[in-house]
Amino acid sequence: MRVPGLIYADERLMRHIRTERSPQQVANVAHLPGIVGRSMAMPDIHWGYGFPIGGVAATDPAEGGVVSPGGVGYDINCGVRLVTSTMHAPEVRERIGELVDRLFRDVPSGVGSSGAIGKLSRRELERVAAEGAAWAVARGYGTEQDLERTEERGRLPGADPSTLSDRAVKRGLDQVGTLGSGNHFLEIGVVDEIYEQSAAQRFGLEPDSVTLMVHSGSRGFGYQVCDDSLEVMQRAVSQYGIELPDRQLACAPVESPEGGRYLSAMACAANYAWANRQVMMVLAMRAVASEMGASPEDLGLTLLYDVCHNIAKLERHVVDGEKRTLCVHRKGATRAFPPGHDAVPSAFRDIGQPVLIPGDMGRHSFVCAGTETAYRETFGSTCHGAGRVLSRSKARKTSGRNLEEELARMGVTVRATGKRTLAEEMPHAYKDVADVVDVVERAGLAVKVARLKPIGVVKG
């Protein structure tokens, strides 16, 4: 190991974490060339491809640092955004069935879902890849304010569509504006606890107000970009004489042709994901407004923020008193920049970056704010969600259970494309996100602002 490994957790969470292979993955990541500081994992850690999900690692390109697709994952720029509103729980609860049905109808979901806005030409797909969320806004899906409230303004620089394979392009042509499957969801929630009154007020969150959460990524397009890169990276490992404890950590120096090409393709996928969530959000806003018999403006539907949690980015951080440009991998980890950082939207710069931590469809989700401690100790990172305790195959072994009824008893109306996905993503397959968030707050990696209780969910 070139650096130490560190897992943020309490003893109760560690009892489960020790039963997995994920701690070994933290140790494996610590072998990456050019890694600085520590190989870290958040308390939602669980086993993933190469890196653990919940993993954070930064490498220094000037010191031979590498970029690893396994440190980003297959769903490049999977992320979450939260919309606030002036609606309150009673007026929405009485129509929650119709609202969830309408969202399920108007936002395509499920494996291979497509057709939200029509099929794109290759030229238009390349614009999506280069322009990100701004592509959607320019076509009537959203506003300039949405871009201000999106990480990186919804566009990662360096995207080069010439790096994309034909198969990746083909898979992306008709999936913009779609939810997909897996752990992706749309969630109508209610603010049921405020922890920081002034921050909550600035974020547009008040007790009993209604929110809309969108959780999705770069769909088949991003998956293909990752898949295309792995074979190249395996060859690069041999070419550059890199020794790794796990071939799933295949990587290349950031400043090599292979590393640069991956970062360019990854940026295309990241931008696609931001455009996807932007379009989906607007479709969902329109669906809610139509069902409520009002306009999105009448209902105060406003994007609070959009964060990604599967990405590698070049960022400036202080290491041993020296400011350096690092390649920060966050795989199942959320950026959590502190008050005063110029990457935080001006509307929230005195509070810190909004940090959105979704739950498990049944219990809670959290809105937090970034901190100086996170910036200093974890390259400005915190957890991204609850974290699995059951694999998808084990979670499916819930034969005989009526999961829709179970969620209804928890006060959640759910619609899903397939029972299999619903079983894979049920609350019992995840840690309690409240335990995860408590750990990161005690460690100083985020400040709790508000808690949300889901009342309606659309699953892929």
Q: Which residues are catalytic?
A: 384
**Quick one: 121 exposed, middle or buried, by C-beta within 10 A (0-12, 13-18, 19+)?**
exposed
CA-to-CA distance for 82 and 187, rounded, in angstroms? 9
Cα–Cα distance for residue pair 421/443, rounded to 1 Å: 34
Q: What token pair was written down for 436?
A: 């995860």
The helix (run of H) or strand (run of E) holding residue 355 is strand 354-357
Distance CA 426, CA 408 (A): 12
**Alpha-carbon torsion (158, 445, 340, 319), positive or negative:** negative
Give the residue among 255, 262, 235 at the shortest CA–CA distance from 247. Answer: 235
Reading the block at residue 403, the tokens are: 């999961």
Do residues 144 and 115 make contact, with C-beta atoms less than 8 angstroms apart? no
- Buried b or exposed e, range 72-99, using 16+ CB within 10 angstroms: bbbbbbbbbbbbbbebebeebbebbeeb
Question: Strand, helix or coil at 382?
Answer: strand
**Coil/strand/helix, residue 192:** strand
Burial class for 160, CB neighbours closer than 10 Å (0-12, 13-18, 19+)? middle
Residue 447 and residue 200: Cα distance in Å, rounded?
A: 11
Taking alpha carbons only, the member of 197, 97, 84, 205 closest to residue 145 is 84
Residues in the chain: 460
Please, what is the Cα angle at 136 between 133 and 142, to 5 degrees?
90
